[in-house]
Amino acid sequence: MRDQTSTEMETATPGVSRPAGPVAYVTGGYPKVSHTFIQREVAALRALGLDIVTCTIRRPPPSEVVGAAQQAEAARTFGVLEAAKNPLHLLAAHARVLARSPGRWAGAAALAWRARSDGLKAGLWQLFYFLEAAVLARHLQRTGAVHLHDHFGSSSCTVAMLAARMAGLPFSFTLHGPDVFFEAHRWRLDVKIAEARFVACISAFCRSQAMLFSAPEAWPKLHIVHCAVDPDRYAAGGRDGCSLLFVGRLSAAKGVPILLDAMAELAVSHPGARLALIGDGPDRAALQAHAVRAGLSDRVTFAGYRDERGVAEALAGADIFVLPSFAEGLPVVLMEALAARCAVVTTRIAGIPELVRDGETGLIVPPGEAGALAGALGRLLDDAPLRQRLAEAGRAAVEAEFNLAHEPAKLACLFAGDAP
């Protein structure tokens, strides 16, 4: 069994339930900058005294592993495909699992067949997941893991479910959405929820979708465990009353064209308003062209990628954070913005209203409506006391409900088999 480091042992928190051995975490790509919240969760669980063994199906490219902390985490993370690409290693993993428990290996094969989706291509992918699962199962046996946990519920979760069956371990997963809900049958959420010891749902909306795709007898295992941030990492800085900020991937789901149209509407009534967009993505060139056509070249800045510290610094100087998304789970960046005491404008979709309560911790507008978005932004630009009231209430909401000091302890209890 893997030993806990002295730091992990020294920072263990009394009174928090902990499992009897290591808990393995797996995702499709870990660690990487876009999923820093998972790394924070892992660090918080280690601080609670849990021994967390990190695994990744594929290693992210070096450009997505940023900073010394992520590089160190990458070095201690087991790569499944990296090992599976060696045919001898792959065959040896299956042989060892089969020799140790032929019944579990056969049970995993039957589960893989039952959990496949329609079509030949899907069946071939299921075979690949089954092959990868033995490599992960063998690693779990070597580390003495007592539980396996996945994030997201899609392909890595399929591998996790099969690996846990081969290794004779319970498994669980954190369900985010929205993409997995769009293809619930493809990813066989019904089977995964039925097989899991528990499912951590990031919002009540997320839990409702899990209920939609599972049998009622499985509903008691659906628990709300929020993604979370450390509010102390975020503080307000100097603000000028006209700075707007967007942080996110420049892709269709984020609704940035609507934001640019709203900025064009604000040009006359609020000529001093300025928007910075942090992030990159496939739509960047098209969005830059959109901004030029709309006459926004001197009002909108495409700042590109920024690391965690850079985002925190940008939030400290922003008066208003705006996220006009069409599809989300419950964005961590909204938690960060509220923690930094930004007034927030976002859309009424998925779990967002559970964090941003309209008129209380921010303003919410219908998705896809540039006029409504421009109206909400103009309202905040005109009303500094309203911005301040929303900002303070938003910070308090994050401290109370989306705090890294509280949420990981719920997971620790679930890993130990207790109710959080």
Judge if 258 and 367 occupy the same domain. Answer: yes
Judge if 378 and 310 occupy the same domain. Answer: yes
For position 172, what pLDDT does the model report?
A: 98
Judge if 91 and 56 occupy the same domain. Answer: yes
pLDDT reading at 327 higher than 50:
yes
Judge if 163 and 255 occupy the same domain. Answer: no
Tens of pLDDT along 11-59? 455 567 889 999 999 999 999 988 999 999 999 999 999 999 999 999 9
Q: What is the mean pLDDT of residues 365-389?
A: 98
Query: Domain range for residue 213?
Result: 6-228+404-415
Judge if 238 and 361 occupy the same domain. Answer: yes
Asked whether residue 56 is assigned to any structural domain, the reply reads yes
- Other residues' Cβ atoms within 10 Å of the Cβ of residue 417: 13
For position 419, what pLDDT does the model report?
A: 73
Structural contact between residues 332 and 180, judged by C-beta atoms closer than 8 angstroms: no
Residue 369 banded pLDDT, cuts 50, 70, 90: very high
Residue 329 banded pLDDT, cuts 50, 70, 90: very high
Residue 6 banded pLDDT, cuts 50, 70, 90: very low
Tens of pLDDT along 85-132? 999 999 999 999 999 999 999 999 999 999 999 999 999 999 999 999
Asked whether residue 420 is assigned to any structural domain, the reply reads no
Q: What is the DSSP string of 121-160?
A: HHHHHHHHHHHHHHHHHHHHHHHT-SEEEEEESSHHHHHH
Judge if 221 and 253 occupy the same domain. Answer: no
Judge if 282 and 160 occupy the same domain. Answer: no
Q: What is the mean pLDDT of residues 173-198?
A: 96
pLDDT reading at 300 higher than 60:
yes
Cα–Cα distances (Å) from 344 to 124, 212, 251, 314, in that order, read 45, 30, 20, 14
CATH of the domain at 107: 3.40.50.2000
Q: What is the mean pLDDT of residues 335-360?
A: 98
Residue 378 banded pLDDT, cuts 50, 70, 90: very high
Judge if 204 and 279 occupy the same domain. Answer: no
Judge if 277 and 382 occupy the same domain. Answer: yes
Asked whether residue 1 is assigned to any structural domain, the reply reads no
Under 8 Å CB-to-CB from 153, ≥6 apart: which residues? Answer: 173, 174, 175, 176, 180, 187, 189, 192
Residue 5 banded pLDDT, cuts 50, 70, 90: very low
Asked whether residue 70 is assigned to any structural domain, the reply reads yes
- The two tokens of residue 82 are 């990296």
Q: What is the mean pLDDT of residues 261-274?
A: 96
pLDDT reading at 195 higher than 90:
yes
Asked whether residue 69 is assigned to any structural domain, the reply reads yes
Asked whether residue 62 is assigned to any structural domain, the reply reads yes
Judge if 253 and 375 occupy the same domain. Answer: yes
pLDDT reading at 3 higher than 50:
no
Number of residues in the chain: 420
**Domains contained in the chain, number:** 2
For position 15, what pLDDT does the model report?
A: 65
For position 407, what pLDDT does the model report?
A: 96
Mean pLDDT computed over every residue of the chain: 94
For position 409, what pLDDT does the model report?
A: 96
Judge if 98 and 125 occupy the same domain. Answer: yes
Asked whether residue 375 is assigned to any structural domain, the reply reads yes
Question: ∠ CA 61-63-68 to the nearest 5 degrees?
Answer: 105
Asked whether residue 370 is assigned to any structural domain, the reply reads yes
Judge if 254 and 201 occupy the same domain. Answer: no
For position 208, what pLDDT does the model report?
A: 98
> How far apart are the two ends of the chain, measured CA to CA in Å?
26
DSSP state of 403: B
Q: Give per-residue burial for 178-204: e unless 16+ CB within 10 Å, then b.
A: bebbeebebbbbbbbbebbbbbbbbbe
DSSP state of 303: E
